[in-house]
Structure 1
Amino acid sequence: MSVTVRVPAKVNVQLAVGAARPDGFHDLANVFLAVGLYDEVTVTPAAELKITCSGPDAHQVPLDASNLAARAAIALAARHGLAPDVHIHIAKDIPVAGGMAGGSADGAGALLACDTLWGTGASRTELLEICAELGSDVPFSLLGGAALGTGRGELLEPLPVGGSFHWVFALADGGLSTPAVYGEFDRLTAGTDVPAPAAKPELLAALRAGDATALAASVVNDLQPAALSLFPALARTLAVGSAAGALASLVSGSGPTTAFLAKSAESAEEVASALLASGTCRAVRVTSGPAPGATVVAPAV
């Protein structure tokens, strides 16, 4: 018996960040778009909790209880009086430590897989509550599609999307710590009046219409100046993508992956080729969104 769940990466088409709260988090207006890069999480009954991982950069994935997949299994088991005795295998295809919610995706995938394997009968509301306990991006990994995240990003409102958007992602050499990027945001905005975060109406309208040009004119990431401050080489990558015809170029989440919105699938391939040839990134990925959230693809038998 085993269950496999496929779960997508995300890009933030808007990441509006408020001032630091007393609890250290920041209020956000975070417009998520799931994209077609997936991890697959398989859970199988075992004598004890065990995690393995394969795929690109698998050596960077923690294989202990700090992994969000392990924490998801433990949290669901605790709620239902079960022992979290499963082997969790993560087949990695989402870039690691790249601002694309790969770890969060694994948490959501493991949660749904364990729920299916154990037959807990947990409601979607309960699963989303557990996701929110695990991390700010985990609920969206379960939901997929497009959504506005408020609070610290975990309070989700699904958004309509009227078409498919083509993306190129450039993977950087090196990583960025999300807490460090937020810390740099706080340093850069110290002494200024940081506005309350809010979704841009024109961006939501562009998503509804499936209008890539209008979306490109609206995308924004308030963490981008902080990411560039800590990782200045990303500026050249962004410039190469723009010169190659990308409609919009931005840092994905807290980085260091950079994201490029293209007008078509053909244009995306051209942008990807230019980025690879430039030597400003170690790899590129081409895909589109929106994509479905965590989905069982191989149920228990």
Structure 2
Amino acid sequence: MTSTSQGLPVHARAPGKVNLYLGVGAVGDDGYHEVASVYQAVSLYEDVRVWRSSEFSLSFSGPIDCSALPTDDRNLAVRAARLVATAGGVDDGVRIEIEKSVPIAGGMGGGSADAAATLVACDALWNTGLTREQLHGLAAELGADVPFALAGGTAIGLGRGDELSPVLTQGRFDWVLVLPRGELSTPAVYRELDTHRERHAGDLGPVVEHPSVSTELLQALRAGDPELLAESLANDLQAPAIHLSDELSDVLELGERAGALAGLVSGSGPTVAFLAEDRESAIDLQIALSAAQLRAVRVSAPVHGARVLQLDG
């Protein structure tokens, strides 16, 4: 008799991410933008535990206020569980508990990490035996960031961000994240980008239809060189995010004055990621930012994607 049949949970974990680069193309007729992104998985995790149940349910714990999050089929984790059940021919439900550490609407893909961890947890709970390719197919149905949360490491994302190619990365990179007190809506940030580009079309010129990742950034990752990487970090959504949340510019300035090699808004924000030279520099930077009453967390990267940790909670 397996541990899962005794009513014990399967525990899975998936990482949040930072965007080392995010180039955004022109808005298409379908309302979506083609992007070129470089994701890096960081050691700030979502922990998901699942139990066999007669119905689908979801609850939250951890340091993040989740009171505004839906716990029904609007939540990616519940949708992920239902996809695994359908793909595996499972009639049972599942009780999901998520211990959240990644900020909500913070540009770090916390909801996508929840979904990715739920996929692998439910696959293990029900012994559905889905292949990695099948799980990635389900992840792509759930959203652009979910396949990367499943894969982890460092990767280029094209199209809507879900066409992934792994990036050869050497060594370890040390980051300090300033976690937001508030939230930014991803659609609102993209709308602000479109408005900014329309407003300044004469100065900016035509928007690139198919953005791409710079060779310099990829070389810095292959070399494991944080100083070279700092020179190539970029995010087209940073300016519109700052326009919607102007305190981000103060945070960026403070971190760079405190010794960061570079800082940038992660994804659509408002999390700000600072690249440090090494572990000791990251500790100093975290102390300086915390002294300024900011929620600063030190993480390393790249790390593994979603995986089952244990079958007994």
Does the TM-score normalized on the shorter chain lie above 0.5?
A: yes
Query: TM-score normalized by structure 2?
Result: 0.92
Query: If you compute each CA radius of gyration, which structure gives the higher value, 1 or 2?
Result: 2
Aligned positions of 1:116-131 closer than 5 A: 116-131=124-139
Identity percentage of aligned residues: 48
What does residue range 207-246 of structure 1 map to in structure 2 within 5 Å? 207-246=221-260
Residue 290 of structure 1: aligned partner: 302
Q: Which one of 207, 213, 218 corresponds to residue 204 of structure 1?
A: 218
Contact 1:5/1:294 (<8 A) preserved: yes
Q: Secondary structure at the match of 1:59?
A: coil
Q: Provide Cα deviations, 1:143-174, integer angstroms capped at 9, x if missing partner.
A: 00000001100010011111100000101221
Structure 2, gaps ≥5 residues long: none
Partner residue in 1 for 2:15: 8
Q: Which residue number corresponds to residue 148 of structure 1?
A: 156
Asked if 2 retains the 8 angstrom alpha-carbon contact of 1:73 and 1:84, the reply is no
Q: Is the 8 A contact 1:167 1:268 kept in 2?
A: yes
Root-mean-square deviation (Å): 1.4
Q: Which secondary structure state, in structure 1, belongs to the residue aligned with residue 114 of structure 2?
A: helix
* Aligned mate of 1:41, from 45, 48, 73: 48
Further displaced range: 187-196 or 161-170: 187-196
SS at match of 1:226: helix
Find out whether 1:108 has 2:134 as its counterpart.
no
The Cα shift of 1:94 comes to 1.6
* Structure 1 stretch displaced more, 124-133 or 183-192: 183-192
Where 2:67 maps in the other structure, the secondary structure is: helix
Q: Deviations over 1:194-237 (max 9, x none)?
A: 11210111101101110000000000011000100100111000
Of 60, 74, 87, the residue aligned with 1:79 is 87
Matched, 1:247 2:261: yes
Q: Give TM-score scaled by structure 1 length.
A: 0.96
Distance 1:23 1:76 in 2: 29
Following TM superposition, by how much is the alpha carbon of 1:277 offset from its aligned partner in structure 2, in angstroms? Answer: 2.2
Letter matched to residue 160 of structure 1: L
**What SS does structure 2 have at the residue aligned with 1:27?**
strand
Contact 1:167/1:288 (CA < 8 Å) preserved in 2? yes
- Report what 1:194 is aligned to: 207
Q: CA deviation at 1:260?
A: 0.2
Match of 1:136 in 2: 144
Which amino acid in 1 is paired with 2:249? A
- For 1:239 and 1:128, the matched residues in 2 are separated by 39
Q: CA deviation at 1:60?
A: 4.1
State the one-letter code of the partner of 1:292.
Answer: H
Check the 8 A contact 2:103/2:180 in 1, yes or no. no
Q: Which one of 285, 288, 309 corresponds to residue 271 of structure 1?
A: 285
* 8 Å CA contact retained: 1:240, 1:274: no
Q: Note the C-alpha offset of 1:300.
A: 6.1
3-state SS of paired residue (2:169): coil
SS at match of 2:83: helix
Shift of 1:25: 1.5
Contact 2:148-2:305 at 8 Å conserved across structures? yes
Match of 1:260 in 2: 274
Return structure 1 stretches of 4+ with deviation > 3 angstroms: none
Tell me if 1:172 matches 2:185. Answer: no
Amino acid at match of 1:139: P
CA shift, 1:83, in A, is 3.0
Q: How many residue pairs are counted as aligned between the two chains?
A: 299
The one-letter code of the counterpart of 1:93 is S
- Residue pair 1:34, 1:291 contacting (<8 A) in 2 also: yes
CA shift, 1:119, in A, is 1.5
